[in-house]
Amino acid sequence: MKTETIQIVDHGRGAQLSTGRITVQDLLPYYRDSASNEEIRRWIPALTDDEIAVLKDYIRDHYEEVLQTEKTIKAYHDRMRAAQPAWTRANEHLSIEERRILLREKLAQRKAVDNGADDSPG
Amino acid sequence: MALTILLDENIDGYAEYLSGFVFSFAWSDISSSLGVRIVNFQEVGLTKGTSDEQLWELCQHQRFYLLTDNRNQDKPASLETMIRTRTLSDSLPVFTISDIQRFRSQRDYVEALVAKLLEYLMDADNLSGVGRLYLP
C-alpha cells in the first residue's frame, strides 16, 4: 500500500498541506485557541490527525513568520474591503431588523411584479 | 431558481452552523423565497486537493457562489489571482468572510453577515463581474 508523506508545500497559494488545500493560515486561528483536533475537525472535517500535527508543527517552528504572513494578508483584505464600491455598504447604517424589513419589502415588490406579469394578457 | 452557496474546504464544517442562521425563524422566509441552498465540498463531488483554479472553474460553470474566508495569499495560483485574472462580465462573485474568528464566536457578527449575504443575493442579477465581496 502506498502511503503519502504529509509535507508543507507552497504551490502558489502560500504554505499548505501537500495532501490537500488546507493552508497553514487556515489552521492558525484554531492553533491560537489551542483547539483540540476534534474541535478543529468540527470546522474543517477534511483534516486527519496526522495533517493537523504537521500543520501545528509548522506553525510552532515558524511562528513569527506565520504571524507576519497573517498580518500581511489581513492588511491586504482590509485595503480591498475599504476599496469596495459604496453600494456594498449602503445598508450598514441600518439595524439588522431594519435590513430585514427592507428585504421583505423588496421581496413583496418582486412578487407583485411577477404576479403582474402573470396577469398580463397573453 | 436556487442560489447555491458552496463553502470552501477550509470552512466546510460551518455549513450546518451557517444554515442555522440563514434558515432561522428570523430569516427563513427571505432565504427560502430567494431559493438559497448551502452546500459543502462533498455534496458537490469535490475532493481533497482541488486547486483554486479547478474550484473557480467549477463555481462559474455550475453557477455556485463560493463562500470562503480571507486567509488566501496573493500568489500566482491563489483564488485571489483567479478572481483578478479570470473574472468576466458574467462571472459570479466570491463571498469572503472578513473575520472567521468573530464569525465563529459572535452572534451579532453572524446576523450582520447573513443580512449582507441576503442583501447581495436579493440583487443577484447585478452581482456578475464584481469579483470578491466581503461579508459582512
> Sorting pLDDT into bands at 50, 70 and 90, what band is A36?
very high
Residue of A nearest to B123 (CA): A106
pLDDT at A1 over 60: no
Kindly state the percentage of chain A with pLDDT values over 70.
93
Cβ-nearest to A96 among B49, B72, B111: B111
Kindly state the percentage of chain A with pLDDT values over 90.
75
Q: Provide the mean pLDDT of chain B.
A: 92
Contacts of A93 in chain B (CB under 8 A): none
pLDDT at B70: 77
pLDDT at A121: 59
Locate the domains of chain B by residue range.
Answer: 3-135
ipTM: 0.88
pLDDT at A122: 52
C-alpha cell at A64: 513569527
Question: Domain B3-135: which CATH class?
Answer: alpha beta
Closest CA to B69 of B16, B15, B8, B123: B8
Cβ-nearest to A22 among B10, B77, B100: B10
Residue of B nearest to A14 (CA): B73
pLDDT in tens, B57-112: 999 999 999 999 877 767 777 888 889 899 999 999 999 999 998 999 999 999 99
Cβ-nearest to B75 among A14, A41, A91: A14
Closest CA to A30 of B101, B69, B68: B101
Confirm if B101 and B131 have CB atoms less than 8 A apart: no
- CATH 1.10.10.10 is right for the domain spanning A1-83: yes
pLDDT at A3 over 70: no
Q: Are A43 and B13 in contact (CB < 8 Å)?
A: yes
Interface residue of A21, A78, A81 to substitute, partner B, most B CBs within 10 Å: A21
Question: Quick check: bond before B93 cis, omega within 30?
Answer: no
Locate the domains of chain A by residue range.
Answer: 1-83, 90-122
Tell me the Cα Rg of chain A. Answer: 23
pLDDT at B79: 87
C-alpha cell at B35: 431559493
C-alpha torsion angle, residues B66, B104, A62, B79 (rounded to 10): 10
A28 part of contact set with chain B, CB < 8 Å: yes
Q: Are B52 and A21 in contact (CB < 8 Å)?
A: yes
Contacts of B77 in chain A (CB under 8 A): 11-13
C-alpha cell at A94: 441600518
Amino acid at A34: S
pLDDT in tens, B98-124: 999 899 999 999 999 999 999 999 999
Kindly state the greatest CA–CA separation across chain A: 72
> Sorting pLDDT into bands at 50, 70 and 90, what band is A120?
low
Instruction: Indicate the angle between helix axes A24-32 and A63-82, nearest 10 degrees.
Output: 100
- Residue B38 burial class via C-beta count within 10 angstroms: exposed 0-12, middle 13-18, buried 19 and up: buried
pLDDT at A119: 65
